[in-house]
Each structure stands twice: as structure tokens, then as C-alpha cells.
Amino acid sequence: MSGFFGCVSRHSAVADVFYGTDYHSHLGTKRAGMAFFDGEKFVRSIHSLENGYFRNKFEGDLDRFGESKLGIGVISDNESQPVTVTSHLGRFSVVTVARIDNLEEITSELLAKNVHFAELSGSEINPTEAVAILISNGKSFKDGIELAQSKIKGSCSMLVLTDSGIYAARDRFGRTPIIIAKDDKGYVAASESSSFSNLGYSYVKDLGAGEIVFMSSDGLREVKAAGNRKQVCSFLWVYYGYPSGYYEGINVENTRYRCGAALAARDKADGMTFDFAGGIPDSGVGHAIGYSNAMGIPYRRPFVKYTPTWPRSFMPQNQNMRDLVAKMKLLPNKEFTTGQNMVLLDDSIVRGTQLKDNVVKLLETGAKEVHMRIACPPLIFPCVFLNFSTSRSTFDLFTRRVIRDIEGTDKLTNEMLAAYIDPNGEKYQEMVSIMAKHLQLDSLKFQHLEDIVAAIGLPKEQLCTHCWDNSSYME
Ligand code: SF4
């Protein structure tokens, strides 16, 4: 994933962009960047976050940005950003939250027009540069942004910093958010509304699908109205979003409470109960609180996360090292494990490796029974719209490996996979019982799709639920 923040102010925007971008640090761990227009020139700074925090990395750069009134910042899990280009539209800088599935097709088309690419991401074309070049192929910024929106398969939300203001353009199906807020000095646009409160901004609106606005010293201007086909990523509420944030006016933490409550309601109906509920830190905590409140059992922490020396941003490239880091971060608390019959909650099961390590730890510290409830349905279809971690490739998904073993082939067709979506189906139940056995769980249950849709509270057709039911627009 990635997240961005942009600010147009009558006073200096530098501190707000600095702190506003920092509040997106949970959305990316690799790189970050900021760009400002100081009234005369564009100034840009990019750093790796692989061995440090955003604030530490950028503090020393702030003087370079002077008293700039226009600025954007990004925390990226992928390429270096912002990209600044000089074009017939003038100079501008772009940040994106994007996954461009047809990058090769777009770059070939641009190269055929004798366009060249200057930046690289690893040894590949920098996707944000491709977006910038598409924009510069338009007759105007509006035209160029619309061109980018129409060409890109996957998803792309962007902020475009010009010498007179900032364009904010949400992905054409609204898969990733852009939220606008204001104070008495100007406007901001962000991926996370939780970045607004401490900076003194008040909510104005969520941009609609494909909507484009322009923020300048003259105020907020609508450039292109929202489309009516929206599919917001459901994972924003379940996992990505910061608990205090809102998307589409719906609070993240409260949605997690409702997810937990829905799981508790099904357990109650099945006559199940436990000594207490606990959440796998951090993403399972909200779901577990919701569960314990609805079930009427205590919330306890059989695990605590050792935060002083394991910052979130320490993310080794190697998967085995990542697993080891995840393992070292969580400390079991024997006081709440020995002899206990507990239910644990987590947002999802991706690879299953970390969860297995955690269950083993609980059993080793004397847990009597460990039951697991997952806040979303089984992840069967890899995300093709957002840059999730690389572990979302097909057979990295635990479910896919189990399905492959059940079906006896790695050539899994959509017809075969469809049998694993329905929680009442035999194949679904076989898959879940194999997963539970592998994870040494006394029971494992996943959220039903209709329950998660109800917990979020938007109509199903306005949500992307593709990774659970293969249902979303693939245009
Ligand atoms: S496929 Fe899943 S993770 Fe990807 S956008 Fe849709 S809901 Fe979000």
C-alpha cells in the first residue's frame, strides 16, 4: 500500500505536510518523499525508510523547503516518489497510491511516441513517472489526469502539485481513498483522515470514484464530478486503516468492533464460549474488543508487542527474516495463557506462518484451548488492484496451498475455486478444517461475506470484495 498528504495554505505548508505525511507511516515501510513549490522553484526530497522513521529521515530537510505554501508528501511501499517533470503544462510533481497492472503496455505506447523515462524503480520503469508522463500527454492537467485514469488497469489515486495549487484525483473506481479537509488557512488532501485532527483540519468530503478537485489559494474547485461505479477496498476497514480514521464517513475502529460482534453472534448461536477474547497485535485488537463486548467475556492480552526496539518500519526484504522479526516482536504472557480456553482474533490469514508460530507459543506457555476467529472471509484470490506485500502471489496464500492439495493440481480454475467461497459448502468446510489442523487450533472460523459487508455498512456493490469472492470489476 502507500499513503499521501497534500496541503495548500496561505501560510507555510511545510510543517503540516511533514506531520501529515508522517501520519501515513502505517501504510508503507520502504520509501518516502516530499515536494514543495516555494513560489519560485520545486524542491524535492526522497529517503529510504528501511532503517529509520519518516520524521528522523526528513527533519534535516525542512529548512530547504523554506516557507512553501504548496506541498505534497508520500509514504510508499514501492517506488521512489514524488516524481517531478517539466512539460508543456509547466513543471509539476506527482505522488500516487497505485498499482499499474498494464505498466508494460502503457510504457510501450509512450516509448512509441518517442517519450523517454528518466527514473527507475529497482531496474524497472518507475510507475509514478509513467503516471506523470501520461498527465503531460494531456492538453491540460484535467485532460492528462483523465487520460491516466482511463489508461491505468489496477488502481491509481494521485496528488499533482503545480505552481498554483494541487490536483487531487481519486482512483476511477475509488478503491483507495482521498479525503479533503480544511482550516482557516487552506485545504489538505490525504489518504488517511486520522492525519487531520492534531493538525487542526476539519473534514470536508471524501472524493468520489474518479473525482478530481483542485485546491488553491482561491479555495476548492470541482474539476471532474465523481463517477457512479465505486468499489472501495474493504481491507481499508479490516486491516490497513488507522483505528481513528474514517472512510466514506465510516470509522475504522468501530467497523472492527462490528466485525468482532458478528463473529461473536455466530459463536453464541453455536453455544460456544471462552474464558476470554484476545487480539493478535495490532490488527486483531479492535476485532477482539468488539467480540468480547458482544460475547460478554473479558478482553485480555495473552500477547504483548515489544515496541521499544521493534519499530514497524524495520521490515527486512527476506521473508524468513520478516517471519523471525514478527515472532520476536510478540511476547506471550503466561499469566493469561496457562490453563486458559481462549478465543483469538485477527484481521486475516495470508501465509499462515506467523499465526502458526503464535499458536505454538501459546500452547508452549500452557494454553488449554486456542480458538481463532478471522475478521474477514478466507483470502482465495490475490489482490490485483493494490500493492499488497509480495506474499499475496497465488500460492503464498495459505488457502490456495490447501486448495491445491485438496484438488491435487496447481492448475486451479475459477470453477474449482468457486466451491471454496460458500461457508456452507463441503469444500469450504474441508479447507477450513485442514487449516485449523495445520495451525493446531481447537477451532477456526472466518467471517461470512454478508457479515463483513454489513459491518462496513456500504452496499455490497460499492465495495471491492474481490479477494474473497472474485467479484470486482476487472477493467
Ligand atoms: S482485492 Fe481485496 S485487497 Fe484488493 S482492493 Fe479488493 S478488497 Fe482490497
DSSP single-letter state for residue 172:
T
**238 is a domain residue:** no
> What separation in Å is there between the alpha carbon of 387 and the centre of ligand 1?
10
Indicate whether residue 467 lines ligand 1 (CB < 6 A): yes
DSSP single-letter state for residue 299:
B
Distance CA 158, CA 444 (A): 39
Distance CA 210, CA 447 (A): 30
Q: Which of 185, 201, 230 is the last residue of a domain?
A: 230
Structural domain of residue 56, as residue ranges? 2-230
Beta strands at 31-37 and 83-87: parallel, antiparallel or unpaired:
unpaired
> What separation in Å is there between the alpha carbon of 139 and the centre of ligand 1?
33
Q: Which of 179, 201, 230 is the last residue of a domain?
A: 230
Residue type, 248: E
Question: What is the pTM assigned to this prediction?
Answer: 0.94
Residue type, 384: V
**236 is a domain residue:** no
> What separation in Å is there between the alpha carbon of 238 and the centre of ligand 1?
11
> Do 150 and 267 share a domain, yes or no?
no
> Do 194 and 337 share a domain, yes or no?
no
> Do 40 and 162 share a domain, yes or no?
yes
Q: Which of 182, 200, 230 is the last residue of a domain?
A: 230
**279 is a domain residue:** yes
Q: How many residues does the chain have?
A: 475
Mutate to test the pocket of ligand 1, among 153, 472, 474, 475 (most ligand atoms within 8 A of CB): 472
Indicate whether residue 466 lines ligand 1 (CB < 6 A): yes
> Do 199 and 261 share a domain, yes or no?
no
Tally of structural domains, the chain: 2
Output the tens digit of pLDDT for each of the chain's 475 residues.
899 999 999 999 999 999 999 999 999 989 999 999 999 999 999 999 988 889 999 999 999 999 999 999 999 988 899 999 999 999 999 999 999 999 999 999 999 988 888 876 766 889 999 999 999 999 999 999 999 999 999 999 999 999 999 999 999 999 999 999 999 999 999 999 999 999 999 999 999 999 999 999 999 999 999 999 999 999 999 999 999 999 999 999 999 999 999 999 999 999 999 999 999 998 899 999 999 999 999 999 999 988 777 655 455 666 777 777 777 888 999 999 999 999 999 999 999 988 999 999 999 999 999 999 999 999 999 998 997 655 556 888 999 999 999 999 999 999 999 999 999 999 999 999 999 999 999 999 999 999 999 999 999 999 999 999 999 877 7
Distance CA 166, CA 224 (A): 14
> Do 285 and 223 share a domain, yes or no?
no
> Do 283 and 224 share a domain, yes or no?
no
> Do 335 and 212 share a domain, yes or no?
no
* Residue whose CA is at the smallest distance from ligand 1 atom 2: 467
Nine-digit cell string for 45: 526530497
**286 is a domain residue:** yes
> Do 141 and 285 share a domain, yes or no?
no
Indicate whether residue 383 lines ligand 1 (CB < 6 A): yes
**214 is a domain residue:** yes
**245 is a domain residue:** no
**244 is a domain residue:** no
**123 is a domain residue:** yes
The CATH number assigned to the domain holding 326 equals: 3.40.50.2020
* Residue whose CA is at the smallest distance from ligand 1 atom 5: 233
* Residue whose CA is at the smallest distance from ligand 1 atom 3: 383
Distance CA 427, CA 420 (A): 6
Preceding peptide of 82 cis, ω within 30°: yes
The CATH number assigned to the domain holding 200 equals: 3.60.20.10
The residue among 168, 164, 166, 165 whose CA lies nearest residue 156 is 168
